[in-house]
């Protein structure tokens, strides 16, 4: 069975703190893709990153970084020096066997 688990329902931090959003996935496929999307209050899902199962290299994009570990089936997302504009719901998703499976999302609240 394919599954994505985002155990953190809601996280609240003060601006400038670092925060990590966890994502654990399950799949039996050897080829798959992992995604992170951001959904601000406006509702539109914004693509953040895509990772394929053969590329475990971590990635950094500005204040955002992603840690992909196949050994633990995790694809965690860290925001460094968080800002109020980072407040949103963040979704992790797994593309495998022609389906895109979504996690339940983590609501991130950044307080000024």
Partner 1 sequence: KAGVTQTPRYLIKTRGQQVTLSCSPISGHRSVSWYQQTPGQGLQFLFEYFSETQRNKGNFPGRFSGRQFSNSRSEMNVSTLELGDSALYLCASSPLPSGTGNSYEQYFGPGTRLTVT
Among the listed residues 44, 57, 71, 112, the single contact to partner 1 using CB under 8 A: 44
Asked if 7 touches partner 1 (CB under 8 A), the answer is no
Per CB under 8 A, contacts with partner 1 among 76-105 are 91, 93, 95, 98-100, 102-105
> Which of 47, 41, 61, 30 has the alpha carbon at shortest distance from 92?
47
> Which of 1, 12, 8, 2 has the alpha carbon at shortest distance from 91?
8
| Nearest-angstrom CA–CA distance, 35 and 109 | 21
**Contact status, residue 37 vs residue 90, Cβ threshold 8 Å:** yes
Asked if 46 touches partner 1 (CB under 8 A), the answer is yes
Which of 21, 93 has the CB closer to partner 1?
Answer: 93
Among the listed residues 28, 47, 57, 62, the single contact to partner 1 using CB under 8 A: 47
| Nearest-angstrom CA–CA distance, 51 and 36 | 9
Interface residue list for partner 1 (CB under 8 A): 33, 35, 37, 42-47, 50, 52, 91, 93, 95, 98-100, 102-105
């Amino acid at each position: 069975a394919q599954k994505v688990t985002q155990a953190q329902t809601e996280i609240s931090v003060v601006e400038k703190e670092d925060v990590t959003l966890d994502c654990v996935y399950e799949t039996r496929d050897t080829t798959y893709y992992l995604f992170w999307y951001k959904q601000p209050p406006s509702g539109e899902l914004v693509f953040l990153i895509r990772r394929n199962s053969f590329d475990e290299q971590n990635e950094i994009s500005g204040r955002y970084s992603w840690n992909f570990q196949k050994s633990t089936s995790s694809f965690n997302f860290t925001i460094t020096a968080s800002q109020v504009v980072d407040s949103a719901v963040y979704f992790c998703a797994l593309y495998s066997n022609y389906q895109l499976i979504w996690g339940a999302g983590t609501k991130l609240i950044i307080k000024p």
